[in-house]
Amino acid sequence: MESLNLNSNAMTRRDVLRLSAGLGLSCLLPAIDLKAADKRGSERQKSVIVVWLAGGPSQLETWDPHPGTSIGGPTQSISTKIPGIEIASLFPQSAEQIHHLNIIRSLTSKEGDHERGTYMLKTGYRPDPTTFHPSLGAIVTQQAPNKKLEIPQHVSFGDGQWPARGGYLGDQYDAFRIYDPGNGLHNMKMPVDEPRQKRRLGNLEVISRAFETNRQPAAKQSLHRRTLDDALTMMSSEQLKAFITDDEPEELKKSYGDSRFGRGCLVARRLVESGVRAIEVSMTGFDTHANNYEGMQTQAEILDPGLSTLIRDLKERDLLESTIVMCLGEFGRTPKINPLDGRDHWPTGFSCLIGGGGLRSGVVIGKTDPTGEKKDPTDPIPVENLFATVLHQLGIDYEQELITPIGRPMALAQGELIQQLM
């Protein structure tokens, strides 16, 4: 096992400010805006941001390069702020921030198909024809909701093919999907004046009551009334401003990148400030069966600024300690380079980033064989363990069993804690 730790007991910017104030040294420090962290309140309820790389990103072109080897291809490596650890040179900005997170280079899954792999990495369970498992975000919002929130507690940015769902917890825990983040939300203003809106709602109530007569189970299952009430509450909420980035500094928006992914990362940070519990920022295009190196270079130009700025922004605003960040896809890519200069599906020994939320930082777990001859990595980490660790760190009992609609008891996660990160 390879396990490195950097600054595991480092103070936050908030701690520094409080200490300096007590010593009368505040005049020596630059101005630090604590407004972002204060928005979460004294409870500092934790959130999770999943940066989802749809298609299966190559570990050899991201967080586990092997330059100069038969499997490494043309990809070079670059040093990071974790001593002795290098990542692909395609990610120079992430190399400056990655020490705030941890690298797992030995993640393992038994699913090598896109749909099944996505299901596994979003729920922690393999697909089962008898049970529809909830995604991580659905579990978090169901188990530990923010009752002060008037906007959705589970949000997904991007146009991924298989979004995060509520599973057996119910459709009300599906992610609220936004395809083009950063430009506010559509249909959030009444198209008519208030008196006419009241008349419309009154007429709708008459129709709704008529439908519900002798149809209570069906009406409840449709979620019609709950959806309507939630929509009306959200339309009048000040919290809607979290979806609009007009008040953000232009330099910061430029740092995230003018892309759907970059804007999604920026809005994710704003939602964390508002207390949203679970956010997924999806980026497609990682299915590099052909022209892997050119494809990954194009992807990195979008991923690197968005991801690195998200980490830095959370850290500087004292939000990273209350926010778990994960960056991963449904599987990795084969060490062997195929005839199309691409890499195929590889669910054994792939990489992910995880950190924040009180986890240790600067830890690197596992090794993959630089020759490609050994399939299994050292210190393998099953996907199930990742889910157990995240739920535990969010204050949720991952061993808790819920009863599914078919009467089957089901644990929230079936893995074990990753002790190196505790």
Q: How many CB atoms lie within 10 A of CB 298?
A: 14
What are the tens digits of pLDDT across the range 218-255?
656 666 656 666 665 666 678 889 999 999 999 999 99
At 263 the pLDDT is 97
Amino acid at 226: R
DSSP assignment, residue 135?
A: P
Average confidence (pLDDT) over 96-125: 98
pTM of the predicted protein model = 0.85
Nearest to 153 by CA among 131, 169, 133, 130: 169
Amino acid at 125: Y
At 31 the pLDDT is 40
Torsion of CA 246, 249, 255, 258, to 10 degrees: 20
Q: For residues 15 and 36, what is the distance between their CA atoms, to the nearest angstrom?
A: 15
Provide the residue ranges of all domains of the chain, joining segments of one domain with +: 36-184+247-421, 187-243
At 237 the pLDDT is 76
Of 154 and 18, more confident: 154
At 178 the pLDDT is 93
pLDDT tier, 39 (very low <50, low <70, confident <90, very high otherwise):
low
What are the tens digits of pLDDT across the range 60-92?
999 999 999 999 999 999 999 999 999 999 999
Which CATH code is given to the segment(s) 36-184+247-421? 3.40.720.10
Q: For residues 243 and 124, what is the distance between their CA atoms, to the nearest angstrom?
A: 29
Are 286 and 57 contacting, i.e. CB atoms less than 8 angstroms apart? yes
Q: For residues 180 and 90, what is the distance between their CA atoms, to the nearest angstrom?
A: 26
